Amino acid sequence: MIIMQDLEALYQLVSERKQNPKEGSYTDYLFTKGLDKILKKVGEETTEVVVAAKNHDNDELRYEVADLLYHLMVLLVEQGLSYEQVKVELASREGLMSQFKDRPEIKNL
């Protein structure tokens, strides 16, 4: 059993499923169904995160955030965007977040 220590490892596993489909794999099922199905799952899991947070249910929130992160990794692989590119984007924002009132819009940097 692989222990998913971070999102990079999860992304790699999902990516591997895309390259080498495995029968009975839920990830393979999503790729076979295609983008619309993946997007529906992202939307559904996002809503479940919102509801869990609204209900102050952190057990549920933990579970739903994990579901959402997994489905986001599937979306990245489907769209051909690497998790590394997301990390680079996050890194480019370092040091900007504390100046939230006067800082320029991230898209204008």
Which listed residue (12, 15, 25, 46) binds ligand PRT by CB under 6 A?
25
Judged by CB under 6 A, does residue 67 bind ligand PRT?
A: yes
Going 24 to 1 to 44 to 56, the CA torsion angle's sign is: positive
For 57, the 3-state DSSP assignment is coil
For ligand PRT, the closer CB: 8 or 28:
28
CB of 76 to ligand PRT, least distance (A): 13
Retrieve residue 76's tokens: 């990245």
Judged by CB under 6 A, does residue 27 bind ligand PRT?
A: yes
The whole-angstrom separation of Cα 77 and Cα 74 is 5
